[in-house]
A and B are shown apart, each in its own frame.
Chain A
Amino acid sequence: MLNYTLRRLMFTIPTLLLISFIIFLILDLAPNDPTGNLPLTIPPEVREKIRQSLGLDAPMYIRYLLWSQQFFINEPLNLLNQWFGWCIGDCEGRLRVSSWATRSPVVDLIAERMPQTLWVVGMSYVVGILIAVPIGVISAYKQYSWFDQIGTFIAMIGFSVPTFFTGVLLIVIFSVWVPNDSFFWLPSIYDTTLEVVDWDSFMLQVRQMIMPVMVLGLFNAAQISRFMRASMLDNLSQDYVRTARAKGLKEKTVLLVHVLRNSMIPVVTVIALGIPQIFGGAIITEQIFKVNGLGQLLIIGIQGADIPLVQTLTFLFAVLIVLFNLIADVLYGLLDPRIRYE
């Protein structure tokens, strides 16, 4: 297993290098001009100077190699310096991947935005799983009951109605219709500056998280509960379930030990594969509720033609996807004794 994991990790290196190059190529092909948003009064010569200062006059492969050097070598060294105080090489003058728009290092921007995204989107994923697993289990066990029918109906709606609709709908209901002084009123804007210091500020934090978390959580729950239900149904009709009943086990044991354990194998994989979406996939929801997380950062970067920012963020999402694919495979092997990677 360890051997397999290490071998897979080795394989991710060329994969990721290739992905980073493709992302760079695609962004380079896009008709983007970082000076495009500057006032028209700036003369073309000055624009050209600005472009030169950003290194845009160099050939594509040089720019790619420079980005690679900055991202793969300078940034990790810088992290070592920041975290442990180890200084390797030139710690002060080292070039880092910088945003064209803000001039600050991209990695610092990402580090700033990460907590909001992890809190809101991560929490919504956890909420989604906590809702989905019991619903999936009960729906399958009581197939075609009213519970299952309602669950199926809600899952269909949750899955087919986009989050930009449910998000706005919730805002209209809980921030507009519900009066300001009501207990049920919820803020429509996520305030990142809020610091949790006491009970009141904690409750404020909870209140401002409810809507984005529920919008995303229900969307995730709709998806996962369908997987859970299908997987449970697959297993409920298996012979080993009859064996477990014939042994005289309680129905609860049969369901929650024998069937659930088997049903979780594919669902855990689906959940693991969905985790990269926590980082990148909630772009729209973050935009609606003004959560200044990674998704919003990416949108700002795209709108401002901030190529280094977009390149780095997109590549980080790719890293996460490759990594969680590996984690899903390893989990699969851990959960299912029949699968051993030798």
Chain B
Amino acid sequence: MKKLIQMTINDRAYEVAVEPNKTLADLIRYDLGLTGTKKGCDTGDCGACTVILNGDPVNSCLVLAVQADNAVIETIEGLSTDDGLHPLQQAFVEKGAIQCGFCTPGMILSAKNLLDKNPAPTEAEIREGISGNLCRCTGYQKIFEAIESTRS
């Protein structure tokens, strides 16, 4: 039986009826059309589906949409503003931290969460902060440099 849930995604309120067996990742991508959130492994290993749920980054493939009732969610689409890209997004572009781009939304959201909570992370903290996000192009060093360039 479908359940009616409410959530705020990127400051916009949504009310949707969802089947209990729908994951948050599928809801965001296929029902709401926010395809910046990627699906890689679908088992919580790769981090491509990272979203920020009530202030904490999570694998949205391992959250049921019904569990996100009343949640506040941030996806990669919520980062840029009318003024342009978020500083982290800009840094990823400038440092060549994007190859195929599939891990990028998750990487940037993990990095954003890290910098929001700890504006001046050490090298080890940056590496730990993105350790739940796999890059199959193995461009980790450029990603690290992009994040490092935006810390205060």
Q: Do A and B bind each other?
A: no
Residues on B lying within 8 angstroms of A by beta carbon are none
